[in-house]
Amino acid sequence: MSFDRSIRIAPSILSADFADFGREIRAVEDQGADWVHVDVMDGHFVPNLTFGPPAVKAFRPHVKTVMDVHLMIAPVDPYIEAYAAAGADVITAHLEAGPHVHRTLQAIRATGKKAGLALNPGTGIEAVEYLLDMVDLVLVMTVNPGFGGQKFIAPQLEKIAKLRAMIGDRPVHIQVDGGITPETAPLVAAAGADVLVAGSAVFTGGSVSAPAPYGNNIRAIRTAAEAAVAGKAA
Ligand code: DX5
Ligand code: ZN
């Protein structure tokens, strides 16, 4: 059975209504989300603050798909077990969060969760060369982490393509995060990304009481990405 690299769309709830996460999560999953991306920020590793373990625990019962927790925090090791206990399915730590990333990945794997490793735009892929057997996912940041609605950093496309070649046929997803829209989705998909995080491009035009635009936005991103992959394969 070959590894499933079909395109997955992971809306980031950072762009959802902060007064209504339960209903927003249910709405975006009903409208076609494959994963739910939860951006954890500590005001130290990134200049913004979001969700502690209790908040993630509160989201858990509303998530029917995959709860994909992106830890933009440093230090990260002391909090891994708490986010695992809160119900994360995937726990992604930043390579830049501390000096012992191999140990961090061991700690995530020890919880039984899927392990992700995130690279900031300034970090090269040579940093992951000896870690590819420790991860289920490598997250290439296509913005500087901390906020939704930022501009896509196009030079990351070359990094994605080189990472895709480095991964080879290992069962490792490439996730991209930041500035993903129907316009940038085909670029990252053609380069080799298969899990696309999108916040502002999904949570726009709709609401929990009128969620249809969420579905249109997800379909626009997915269709553009899949067309690029098909075009590449042709
Ligand atoms: C940024 C977060 C991203 C962000 C994406 O630090 O990690 O997940 O929410 O937002 P958009 O899709 O609006 O760029
Ligand atoms: Zn994120």
Q: Which ligand is nearest to the CA of 180?
A: 1
For residue 1, being part of any structural domain is answered with no
| Count of domains forming the chain | 1
The bound ligand whose nearest atom lies closest to the alpha carbon of 200 is: 1
What is the mean predicted confidence (pLDDT) over 74-86?
Answer: 98
Q: What is the mean pLDDT of the chain?
A: 97
What tens digit of pLDDT does each residue of 168-184 get? 999 999 999 999 999 99
Distance 149 CA to ligand 1 centre (A): 7
Residue 80 sits in a domain of what CATH number?
3.20.20.70
For 201-214, what is the mean pLDDT?
A: 97
Residue 11 Cβ < 6 Å to ligand 1: no
| 169 CA to centre of ligand 2 in angstroms | 25
CA angle 64, 192, 107 (to 5 degrees): 55
Residue 151 lies in a domain: yes
Which is nearest to 179 in space by CA: 199, 205, 207? Answer: 199
Q: Is residue 2, in this structure, part of any structural domain at all?
A: no
Task: Say whether pLDDT at 234 is over 90.
Answer: no
What 3-state DSSP class applies to 17? Answer: coil
**d(CA 125, ligand 1 centre) in Å:** 21
pLDDT in tens, 184-204: 999 999 999 999 999 999 999
Identify the domain containing residue 168 by its residue range.
8-233
Give the model's confidence band at 232: pLDDT under 50 very low, under 70 low, under 90 confident, else very high: confident
Residue 3 lies in a domain: no
pTM score:
0.98
